[in-house]
Copies of this chain bind each other. A is one copy, B any other.
């Protein structure tokens, strides 16, 4: 399969969201125009995005909603379930454990870690907050697919180094720094402060 741009993957996720809404409403087919409107793009772009992955839909009839949804889930690797650890039990970390969007799409938060002795051992949303120091041992017994890092920037790189060594291949990073990882490890970044600063920059330079 060709290397697909990150922006394409993102649009595929958006198309899937709309298809799932249509599925719930019992809509059977959808046009590339309708997908485009909801994805903030053009129907030509929709057809191009989908063409990377083979042939879909029929000219004039549009796409079958359940077929396209199922194919997109497959492309995005969403058929399987992923075991997720959240590291950092602050406000955001704790909220993520509750986040229904994760569970719905096969991302199961199985553990929550912190390094604060006052938090370790306390229960949060059914999960006992575990000691970060024990994370390699826990993973060896009970592997995880994805680690979500919600730690201070100063702690993040060392943690990632430890987790990569322990075999973790995917990270969702909330800490405001650029993580260094080997080529076969995937990292996505979410930095709320950085997004707000980009807004601030945008407001200042409109």
Contacts and interface: CB of A to CB of B under 8 A. Distances in A.
A112 B13 CA distance: 28
Contact of A178 (B41, B154, B184, B191): B41
A127 interface: no
Interface of A: 1, 4, 6, 9-10, 12-14, 16-18, 21, 38-41, 75-78, 82, 84, 91-92, 94-96, 98-99, 101-102, 104-107, 145-146, 153-154, 169-172, 176-180, 184, 186, 188, 190-206
Contact of A195 (B18, B188, B192): B188
> How many copies make up the complex?
2
Select the residue from A92, A153, A154, A199 with max chain B CB neighbours within 10 A.
Answer: A199
A177 B17 contact: yes
B82 A92 contact: no
B203 A77 contact: yes
B188 A199 contact: yes
A36 to B, nearest CB: 10
A204 to B, nearest CB: 3
B107 A201 contact: no
